[in-house]
Amino acid sequence: MKNIETFLSHDGKKAHSKGAVVPPIYQNSLFTMKDWDDIDKAFDDRTNNYIYSRGNNPSAKIVEEKLAMICGGDTAKLFASGMGAVSAVMLSCIEKGSHVVTIKNIYGPANNILQSYFKPKFGIEITYISGTDISEFEKAIQPNTTLIYLESPSSVILSLQDLKAVATLAKKHNIKTAIDNTWASPLFQQPLKLGIDFEIHSCSKYIGGHSDVVAGLVVGAKSDMEILFTKEFELFGAKIAPFEAWLLLRSLRTLKIRMDQHQKSGLAVADFLEKHPKIAKVNFPGLKSFPQYELAKQQMSGTTGLMSFQLKTTELEKVKTFFNGLELFQIGVSWGGHESLIYAPAISYLKELNAAQFEGLGISLGDMRISVGLEAAEDLIADLAQSLDKI
Ligand SMILES: *Cc1c(COP(=O)(O)O)cnc(C)c1O
């Protein structure tokens, strides 16, 4: 099989019992064994054998194998959520007193767990950088640095890090690297091939794609994943449920055509927004005007449907009129599903920061985040246009 979509839609001829074209859901907590020796032997290789569903389950395994393959890694494990995956990787790579280098615009809860949990509980130190220049990473590294945690493109402003350069630098210093690769999906960016150690996804976004699953994924080399399996995966127990895994297998069948559509519509919408007189700025790595467009082209093979833009107005009433005036874009958190969504980062930030503080983060009252879904791009553009006309 040469092409990803063939591999994703096919499990092999008669792969499943009785010729079922879709595998059953293995809704079981344990696996029974023939005799003493059989169960004794199973324990000798607990990372690969079916013993208890907190470790391995066939409904999860079939999806994990497909995901490992498309990410270009040895081993994949599915978690109950993206944050289950994020926290497992962080725990695997830090010790008491570790130093972590990360970027300013990582996903909020990923920053929150570092700041409000690992820092006070384990005494870890954290250095934040913009991540756009490799020299920032060089300067940030300390003797106790054990993890460089990346997200490229990052949340809200979609800034990139040079993955190959960071991986090379980290290897020289014997530091583990991890990336949240949710934005690009495994189809448009393959960080493991560039030397990154751990690839993380929230499967609640593009991999799931139907807004009906919350799940997470970690992919890495066999040696790293064996440690993560026996420690953070099995002991913390944030494993995916068989039904959720089965839904993800359903999702993988269409991953390629969905991502191609998100890419096409995302580019059309970004292009429309960029030219609109009421828009100040669009943050989207697929636009030629994006400051890191060349790096985006170099390390990603495509772009998706999540972007942010800034309205010229920062008058709260007008911002709200635009936000509430959309008919196809629904209001909600999350992204990456079939449905188009809008969210305004200021809704979160206004609760925690004053206006000057959040301007310091490069965010304004007029900032909008949209997830372009699978509706016709033409209809989405018409919806944005009619609501922009109201302000
Ligand atoms: C949603 C999200 C997560 C967390 O995933 P959950 O499945 O919601 O736990 C992590 N990283 C990014 C970039 C996300 O958008």
Q: State which of 252, 283, 303 marks the end of a domain.
A: 252
Residues 6+ apart with CB under 8 A from 66: 7, 8, 249, 252
Q: Are residues 242 and 370 in the same domain?
A: no
153 prior amide bond cis, ω within 30: yes
Range of the domain at 236: 4-252
Span from the CA of 149 to the centroid of ligand 1 (angstroms): 14
Q: Are residues 233 and 269 in the same domain?
A: no
CATH number at 267 reads 3.90.1150.10
Judge if the beta carbon of residue 202 lies within 6 A of ligand 1.
yes
Q: Are residues 139 and 242 in the same domain?
A: yes
Label the pairing between strands 367-371 and 341-343.
Answer: antiparallel
Judge if the beta carbon of residue 336 lies within 6 A of ligand 1.
no
Ligand 1 pocket mutation, candidates 114, 157, 204, criterion most atoms within 8 A of CB:
204
Split into its structural domains, the chain has a count of: 2
Q: Are residues 132 and 104 in the same domain?
A: yes
Task: Phi first, then psi: give them for residue 125, nearest 5 degrees.
Answer: -105, 150
The predicted structure's pLDDT at residue 1 = 60
Judge if the beta carbon of residue 340 lies within 6 A of ligand 1.
no
Below-70 pLDDT ranges, the chain: 1, 355, 361
Q: Are residues 10 and 98 in the same domain?
A: yes
Q: Are residues 219 and 264 in the same domain?
A: no
Q: Are residues 183 and 274 in the same domain?
A: no
DSSP-H helix ranges across 204-354: 222-228, 234-236, 242-253, 255-275, 293-299, 316-325, 345-352
Q: Are residues 298 and 218 in the same domain?
A: no
CATH number at 79 reads 3.40.640.10
The predicted structure's pLDDT at residue 350 = 77
Q: State which of 252, 283, 313 marks the end of a domain.
A: 252
Judge if the beta carbon of residue 206 lies within 6 A of ligand 1.
no
Can you tell me whether residue 270 is helix, strand or coil? helix
Q: Are residues 192 and 298 in the same domain?
A: no
Judge if the beta carbon of residue 107 lies within 6 A of ligand 1.
yes
Q: Are residues 158 and 225 in the same domain?
A: yes
Judge if the beta carbon of residue 204 lies within 6 A of ligand 1.
yes
Q: Are residues 282 and 245 in the same domain?
A: no
Q: Are residues 229 and 292 in the same domain?
A: no
Q: State which of 205, 227, 252 marks the end of a domain.
A: 252
